[in-house]
Amino acid sequence: MINFLNPSLEKPYILFQSLYQKALDHGQKGVEAISVSSFNKGANEVEARYVNLKYIDVNEWIFFSNYNSPKGQQFESHNQVSVLIYWESINTQIRMKAKISKTSSEFSDKHFQGRTKEKNALAISSNQSQVIGSFDEVTKNFNETLEVMTSETHRPDFWGGYSFIPYYFEFWQGHENRLNKRHVFKLQDDQWKEQLLQP
Ligand SMILES: Cc1cc2nc3c(=O)[nH]c(=O)nc-3n(C[C@H](O)[C@H](O)[C@H](O)COP(=O)(O)O)c2cc1C
């Protein structure tokens, strides 16, 4: 589920919220799963992965991750991302282009404090995306961290929130005979410019 902290009254946000509610009403699973594509400057490659969107706070879309991970390094060197959602239950795709940065440490701390001990033990114990010899080593690191953790354990500096602010949306709604509706919103001079695209 996505938490809407301070809902925006701007048009693409109102449309997003109504489609989100419709997807939930149609029993859509994994509504919070979004694909985030980033640019790996060193390799001259684009990379995509799913993350779980946790909050939308006005125009900030927030998820959490390891700041040292490949995606974290890519966001540092190239702060533009492409985000994709597909809700099969309502045959709707949402595409976004956005600028990404870290959330405040206070925001990350608050979120970390609200998570289970197990989730936090994994966040602390895993050097995300680094090669490891065996899965046993993963569980060993996890169990050792879990054992020493207390209610006082702080969020590590290398884990926290990312917030992206979209400047482009495309809502694609599938219809019969491929008469698909494509509704674009582009941010220009602080105004959302609306356009319809051919299917
Ligand atoms: C549905 C789904 C949700 C995920 N959510 C997150 C997430 O919120 N944060 C995260 O760091 N990884 C999440 N992952 C794992 C990422 O897809 C990815 O494997 C990991 O972040 C490493 O990515 P990187 O090597 O590009 O940094 C999720 C995977 C799936 C399939």
What stretches in the chain show pLDDT beneath 50?
Answer: none
**Which pLDDT score, from 0 to 100, does residue 151 have?**
86
For residues 192 and 194, give the distance between their C-alpha atoms in angstroms, rounded to a whole number.
Answer: 6
| For ligand 1, atom 22: residue with the closest CA | 129
- Domain containing residue 46: CATH number: 2.30.110.10
pLDDT confidence of residue 34: 98
Is residue 150 in a domain? no
Q: How many domains does the chain have?
A: 1
Identify the domain containing residue 44 by its residue range.
3-115+156-197
49, 35 Cβ separation under 8 angstroms: yes
pLDDT value of residue 30: 97
Which atom of ligand 1 is nearest to 38's Cα?
A: 26
Q: Would you say residue 8 lies in a domain?
A: yes
DSSP code for 176: G
**DSSP readout, 17-46?**
HHHHHHHHHTT-S-TTEEEEEEEETTTTEE
Is 64 domain-assigned?
Answer: yes
52 lines ligand 1 (CB under 6 A): yes
User: Is residue 123 one of the residues assigned to a domain?
Assistant: no
